[in-house]
Structure 1
Amino acid sequence: MSRLLKPKVQCLLWGMFLLLAGVEVRAQNGGVEFVSLEVVLGETVTYDFYSQPPYSPQIDQYGVYPMYGTADLPGPGPLGVPGQNTLIYTPTTIVPAIDTVFIKYWVWENNNYTTVDLTIEILIKPSIVHAVDDYTETMEGTPVIIDVLSNDWTNGQALAIADVPLVNNGTFTLNQDSTLLGFIPAPGFSGVANLNYTICDDAGTCDMAVVTIGVMPNNMPVEDTLYLTTGKETARAILVNLEGFALVSGPDHGSIDFSSADYPIYTPEAGFYNDYDAVTFEKVENNTTYLVHVVFHVLDIDPANTFVKDDQAYTPKGEPIVIDVVGNDLGGANLNGVMVTLQPSHGTAFPAGTGKFEYTPNPGFSGIDQFVYRAFSPDWSVVEYGTVYVTVSNHVPTHSTFQLGTPKYVPLVLGYNVPIYGYNFSVTVEPDYGTVEYLPGVQTVTRNGQTFTGYNMLIYTPDSTLAVPGIIDEFEIEYCVVSDNCPTAEVKIDIEILDIDVAADQFCLGENCVWAGDTNVDGVVDMRDLLPLGLSMGEVGIQRPNPDLTQWYGQFGEDWNNIFSPQSAYDLKHIDADGNGIIGAQDTSAINQFYWNEHTLTAEGAGPQIDVPLYFYQQEVLPVDEGDLVKLDIWLGDPN
Structure 2
Amino acid sequence: MLAGWFHTLNGWSPTLGSCGCCTDPAGNCSNTSTKSFNNLLIYSIFLSQTQLTMKKNYTLSFLSLLIFGVTASAQAVDDFAITDQNVPAAIYVLANDNLSGGLAAEPIAIVSPPSYGQVVLNDNGSPTDMADDYITYTPDNNYNGVDTFIYQITDASMVTSTATVTVVITPPTTGGDPPLAIDDNAATQEDIAVVINILENDAFGEDLYSISIVDAPANGTAVINNQGTPGNPTDDTITYTPNPSFYGADSFVYEISDIDGDTSMATVTLYVSEDGFYEPPFATNDIATTDEDNPVTIAVIGNDSFGSEGPGSLSIASQPVNGTAVINDNGTPADPLDDTITYTPNANYNGPDTFTYSITDSSGNAATGSVTVNIVPDVPSADLPVAVNDNAVTMEDTPVTIAVVTNDDLVGSTTWTLAITTPPSNGWAVVNNNGTPGDVSDDTITYTPNPNYNGIDSLDYSYLDANLVAVATAVAFIVITPDVPTLDVPLATNDGATISEDTAVVINVLANDSFGGDGPSFGSISVNPTMPEVTAMGGMVSVNDNGTPQDPTDDTIIYQPNLDITGVDIFTYTITDANGDTATATVTVQIGSQIDPEEVPPVAVDDMVTTGLNTAVEIDVLANDTGVNSQFWGISIQEAPSHGNVIINENETPAGFDNTITYMPETGFTGQDSFIYKIFGSLGMDYATVSVTVGGNGNGSIVLKAFFDANGNGVQDLSEEAFTQGKFHYEKNNDGTVVDGVSSTGNYYISVNNPADTYDLNYSINNDLAQYYTVATQPFQDITAVPSESSEFKFAITGTVFTDVNVELIPISSPRPGFTYINMIAYHNNSAQSVSGTLTFGHDSIVTINSVSQGGIVNTATGFTYDFSLPPFGTQNIYVLMQVPVIPTVALGDLLTNTVTIFVNDDAAPNNNTSAVTQTIIGSYDPNDITESHGEKIVHSTFTADDYLYYTIRFENTGTANAENIRVENMLDAQLDEGTIEMVNASDNYTMERTESNLVWNFDNIQLPPVEENMTVGHGYLTYRIKPKSGYAIGDIIPNTANIYFDFNPAIVTNTFNTVFVSTLSIADANDQKLSAYPNPTKGMLNISGATVIENVVVYNLLGQVVLKKEISGNNGSIDVSSLPNGIYNVRIASAEAEKSIRIIKN
TM-score (norm 1): 0.30
Q: Which has the higher contact order (CA 8 A, sep 6+)?
A: 1
Q: Which has the larger radius of gyration?
A: 2
